Amino acid sequence: MNAKNAAPETLEAVFLRDRARLLGFLARAGAGAEAEDLMQEAWLRIESQRGREEPDQPLSYLYRLLHNLMLDRRRSEVRSARRDTEWADISGGSVPGTSEEPDTDRRMIAEEEIRAVHAAVTALGEPTATIFRRHRIDGIVQRRIAEELGLGVSTVEKHLRRAYAALLDWRSMRDEA
């Protein structure tokens, strides 16, 4: 899986070499007419990082970059279609075209959402909640979490699946409500 990176290639070189593959990835992910536009946006990001340290795995970095750009677009579409649960508003991440200052009620809902998500994670019980937080928020790999908690990797995986399934179900139910 992990190719040894003797001399990692630059992001730019990999982007240009694997352009067709990455564009295909966006198409398969359902980007449709936005695919070229997303490639352009990714290129601008890469250019703005020129001179900084190159990532160890440029190809997986590029996949993630495109994936996240696509995710950002989807989220802001959903957000503007769902005015009343704008929890990103109070984090300072402004969405173009919406007001900077959330009104009182939107602010209340945002606070409530934050409380509700924290509560929903706590409600998973232990060790599931801790495993989820370590994985999703702290970015720790499953193997490390297993070592920390003295559990088997497969047990950690089971808890993670349960946590994600419960939280994502809970989240989409709230959206539909």
Partner 1 sequence: MTDANNRIRQEALDWVIRLRHADAADWAAFDAWLGADSAHADAYWPLATADADVAAALAQPLPSAEVIALEPVRKRRWLAAALLPIAASIALAVGLWWTLAPGAIPDTVFETRAGETREASLPDGTRVALNGDTRLVLEGADPRRVRLERGEARFAVVHRADAPFVVSVGAAQLHDIGTVFDVVRDGAAVRVAVAEGAVQYREDATSLRLNPGDSLTRGANGTIRTARIAPADVAAWRARRLTYDQVPLELVAADLARATGVPVTLDTGLAGRRFSGGLHLDAPPEAVIARAAALMGVRARRDGTGWRLSER
Tell the smallest beta-carbon distance from residue 126 to partner 1 (Å).
Answer: 16
Nearer to partner 1, 37 or 56 (CB): 56
Nearer to partner 1, 51 or 138 (CB): 138
* DSSP conformation letters of 47-62: HHTTTSPPPS-HHHHH
Say which residue the tokens 């599931």 belong to.
128
Q: How far is CA 149 from the centre of its chain?
A: 25
Q: Does 136 bind partner 1 (CB under 8 A)?
A: yes
Q: Does 48 bind partner 1 (CB under 8 A)?
A: no
Q: Does 138 bind partner 1 (CB under 8 A)?
A: no
Residues in Cβ contact with 121 at an 8 Å cutoff, skipping those fewer than 6 apart = 129, 132, 133, 163, 167
Say which residue the tokens 């990532």 belong to.
55
Nearer to partner 1, 24 or 152 (CB): 24
Whole-angstrom Cα Rg for the chain:
20
Judge whether 112 and 86 are in contact, CB under 8 Å.
Answer: no
Q: Does 152 bind partner 1 (CB under 8 A)?
A: no
Counted residue by residue, the chain has a size of 177
Q: Does 177 bind partner 1 (CB under 8 A)?
A: no
Q: Does 84 bind partner 1 (CB under 8 A)?
A: no
Q: Does 113 bind partner 1 (CB under 8 A)?
A: yes
Report d(CA 81, CA 102) in Å as an integer. Answer: 16
Residue 135 per-residue DSSP state = I
Nearer to partner 1, 48 or 104 (CB): 104
Q: Which of 23, 90, 151, 153 binds partner 1 (CB under 8 A)?
A: 90
Judge whether 55 and 99 are in contact, CB under 8 Å.
Answer: no
**Site residues (vs partner 1, CB under 8 A):** 1-3, 21, 24-25, 28-30, 57, 59-60, 63-64, 67, 71, 74-75, 78, 87-88, 90-91, 101-105, 107-108, 111, 113-118, 121, 133, 135-137, 139, 141-142, 160-161, 164-165, 167-168, 171-172, 175
